């Protein structure tokens, strides 16, 4: 599950915050949960030209829980940080 809040700061440039909640299951039937993680970080969108855009986001794990482990983060099932860069060209 994810959610974002973004604002256009100048024409064709949008910045915001991105919140993600991820849950990890073992097996195909979603019957055995192994952990979860909550990520938060900035997001950015820039329409460079009418048919060219760039989007980027970065999130850090704020909280998580691995089943059977008393740790504030789940670093077994999830990474500490997530990053995404997208360049899109329409032709």
What residue spans define the domains of the chain?
A: 1-18+34-55+74-91
Q: What is the pLDDT of residue 8?
A: 97
Q: What is the pLDDT of residue 85?
A: 97
Burial class (CB in 10 A: 0-12, 13-18, 19+), 85: exposed
Task: Quote the DSSP letter at residue 36.
Answer: E
- Model confidence pLDDT, tens digit, residues 30-59: 778 888 999 999 999 999 999 999 999 999
Asked if residue 25 lies in contact with residue 33, where contact means CB atoms within 8 angstroms, the answer is yes
Q: What is the pLDDT of residue 4?
A: 92
CA angle 61, 18, 5 (to 5 degrees): 150
81 pLDDT more than 80? yes
């Amino acid at each position: 599950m994810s959610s974002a809040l973004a604002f256009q700061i100048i024409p064709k440039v949008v910045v915001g915050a991105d919140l993600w909640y991820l849950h990890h299951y073992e097996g195909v039937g979603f019957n055995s949960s192994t952990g979860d993680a909550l990520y938060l970080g900035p997001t950015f969108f820039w329409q460079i030209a009418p048919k060219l855009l760039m989007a980027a986001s970065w999130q850090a794990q704020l909280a998580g829980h691995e089943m059977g482990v008393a740790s504030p983060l789940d670093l077994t099932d999830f990474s500490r940080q997530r990053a995404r860069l997208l360049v899109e060209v329409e032709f």
